[in-house]
Amino acid sequence: MRNFKFNSLSAIIRSKKARRGMTIVICVFASLVLLITTAGAAGTAAKAVNVIMDGIKYPLTKGHPYSENGTTMIPFRMISGKLGTQANWNAANKTLTLQQKENKIVLTVGSSFAKVNGQPVALGAMVVQKDGMTMIPLTVVSDLLSAEVEVEVDEFSQSVHIHTPGKDLGELDYFGRKIRTTNLPKNYKDYPYILEDIPNEMYEMRHTINYSAGNAETGAQVFSKKELTSEDMAKIIKRMKIGFDLRLNVDYKTINPASYAKESFKYENQSSSIREKEIEEYAEWVKKNKIQIEGAIDPESSVLYYPGTGDYRVRSMFRFRINSFTEYKDLFNDVYFKLAEFRLHEKLKKGVWYEGYADLSISTNYYNPIVGEHFNIDALSSLFENTTLHEVK
């Protein structure tokens, strides 16, 4: 049943005056979502976190911010040369020195303490190097650079926001991200607005619109109906992230097939209870085939369209790595898994990161749904159907 609604674009976009006072925003809801110990998943494994710096969201790629054991870690490169700081890296000692006005902050890889003007200060987590990137606890920004920033709670955006004081961010969307009006993609009219931190490649990616369906709609057409609130879209994306966190983080050593299936099915279209049994069978296969996968998705709320097939598609960035399996068969809880080999012209490899964009399907089994509550991941939603899947070199 098609009853998907958006509010007016003017209500979605915040003026620069409304956002001028934006500071660091640590979203409590996001932390709760990302720290859920999902049934059968990696448990305390790192979970991807969205961090927006001056209206620009860090992409879901190498060095992406993450939360682990209750601590948010961000790549140092996000703040390098920003927030009134100067930095120096000593490769031999693996120390990072930040100078902010009269304050000198020294961080050491492998240490959970910083030296601030020579005095030790606890960070709550160690500075680490991951995938060749230096990752620092968010407390470095929120506490040690406190003369430059403030902390407040934003229960909506499900993101961490860092704002350079006094910097005019211009026009932002509802989620605090910069809107651009230049260097637009060729098909910019298909969207309600274009974001600064999304490359044209994502916007210009082919849609899975069934043009023979008379009611297929672009994102701009869907938005123009002014019938769905941004709060609804945020709730849907929250559920998508949890659902795909379960799909993309499986470990044969810890997975409990029954509980995994029950938890995963909660975030899918509830039209068929048989689906829960199918998920349980997949989880049994994970154990038997010794499958270990880690990954995440990042859906874009403004890049949504109706393909005319009864569901909606939300374009999403994804990233995953397969760490273990015995037989190359049904590695993912994804009905289009076999298309991965077709897209890449080779089989997926162990120990290699893959990234791309995919149009993920959401749908509902309710006749008159409460949009923000009843739209969930469709059972056929796939990373491998309409995708730009590629190996990270």
DSSP notation for 71-83: EEEEEGGGTTT-T
d(CA 308, CA 210): 6
Is it the case that residue 200 has pLDDT exceeding 50? yes
pTM of the complete model:
0.83
d(CA 150, CA 161): 11
What pLDDT, in 10s, does the model give residues 18-68? 333 444 443 433 333 343 334 444 444 677 888 888 889 988 888 888 888
What pLDDT, in 10s, does the model give residues 315-344? 999 999 999 999 999 999 999 999 999 999
What pLDDT, in 10s, does the model give residues 242-273? 999 999 999 999 999 999 999 999 999 998 88
d(CA 340, CA 323): 17
Is it the case that residue 15 has pLDDT exceeding 70? no
Question: 216: which residues sit within 8 A by CB, 6+ positions away?
Answer: 209, 210, 305, 306, 307, 308
What pLDDT is attached to residue 16?
A: 38
Is it the case that residue 379 has pLDDT exceeding 90? yes
Residue 375 φ/ψ, nearest 5 degrees: -90, 125
- Three-state SS letters, 159-224: CEEECCCCCCCCCECCCCCEEECCCCCCCHHHCCCEECCCCHHHHHCCCCCCCCCCCCECHHHHHH
Q: How many CB atoms lie within 10 A of CB 2?
A: 13
User: Mean pLDDT throughout 284-310?
Assistant: 93
Residue 294 banded pLDDT, cuts 50, 70, 90: very high
